[in-house]
Amino acid sequence: MGYTGLMQKSHNSPGIDPATIKAFALDLDGTCLGLNGSLSDRTIRALKICLHRGIQVIICTGRSIDAAEQYRLAIGAEGPMVYFNGAEVVDMPAETMVKATFLNLEAVDYCVDLSRSRGLYYQVYFPGTPEHPRGILMAEHQAQETEMYRIHTGIQAMIGDLKQALTRPGLTGCVKGMFIADPLFHEDIRSQLVERFGKGIYIARTSRTFLEIMDAEVSKGMGLRCALAYQGLQDAPVIAFGDEENDLPLFEAATYAAAPANAKESVLKAADIQFGPNTEEGLAELLEQMFG
């Protein structure tokens, strides 16, 4: 598909002047990674050129630090990164926590009950401990979803009783919970959670089968605003790149929004720029044309 030029936002934003761009807010899965979860050499080169031009690359992902670190290292990006859809903003590579916003234990406990009653796979990211400073992923049983998630992210879930884990001394909240289930079950899960908690939680589909539950204040948009302020770039022109519904708040927080052709329809409608699909190195093509 390639670079199709700027599509005007509803507020009639002007065309993009590449020379003014100071930062990218970069989603990973479905946007710049291929189907096998790889970051192509061409995409790495294009992003490194932008880094050398002084553009800050801020990874904004639903992944954990561990699951995203190989891509940050390949690009060579440093500074505040947005993980867990905004639940954690961490200055890398020092791993200094800039902001953490955790889901209350009542909501996590309710999701455990929901998963048990529906027979659905559910896993929880717990905050770090001295033994596991980057956090702990836990599920209640080994399943095909466990292995699929390990292949997708490189993270192996510990197996244990989630109800018991929630009683850990000093635990006040969890990073996020995630149902991994056929999309046909997503609306039922959403309706149950909305009925119970209303606007007290944030629910986001982050891939075809991933439905994530976080604190109501969490979003990639909130995370990006925090990261930009930390860098003194809160008023700088920023391009956000994303493909799923969890990227819509990211678009709102950025100056311009860009989506690959494979993005969800609502995301394409919200984007200023459409570029080629992630399976065809669309992001690299766009960056080459815009930034040389």
Domain range annotation of the chain: 19-100+219-291, 103-215
pLDDT at position 207 over 80? yes
Q: Locate tokens 């903003």: which residue?
A: 89
**pLDDT confidence of residue 15:** 78
Amino acid at 19: A
CATH architecture of 19-100+219-291: 3-Layer(aba) Sandwich (3.40)
C-alpha 210/C-alpha 180 separation (Å) is 5
pLDDT bin (cut points 50, 70, 90) of residue 2 is: very low
3 state DSSP class of 268: helix
C-alpha 84/C-alpha 225 separation (Å) is 15
Taking alpha carbons only, the member of 60, 3, 50 closest to residue 28 is 60
3 state DSSP class of 25: strand
| pTM metric for this prediction | 0.88
- Name the token pair of 212: 């994530």
Lowest mean pLDDT across 32-36, 226-230, 232-236, 249-253: 32-36
Q: What is the mean pLDDT of residues 196-206?
A: 92
Q: Which residues lie closer than 8 Å to 70 by C-beta, 6 or more apart?
A: 154
pLDDT at position 8 over 60? no
pLDDT bin (cut points 50, 70, 90) of residue 36 is: confident
Average pLDDT of the chain is 93
Q: Are 262 and 238 in contact (CB under 8 A)?
A: no
C-alpha 165/C-alpha 105 separation (Å) is 11
Amino acid at 72: R
Q: What is the CATH number of domain 103-215?
A: 3.30.1240.10
pLDDT at position 182 over 50? yes
Tens-digit pLDDT profile for residues 11-26: 333 478 999 999 999 9
Tens-digit pLDDT profile for residues 37-90: 999 999 999 999 999 999 999 999 999 999 999 999 999 999 999 999 999 999
Q: Are 209 and 182 in contact (CB under 8 A)?
A: yes
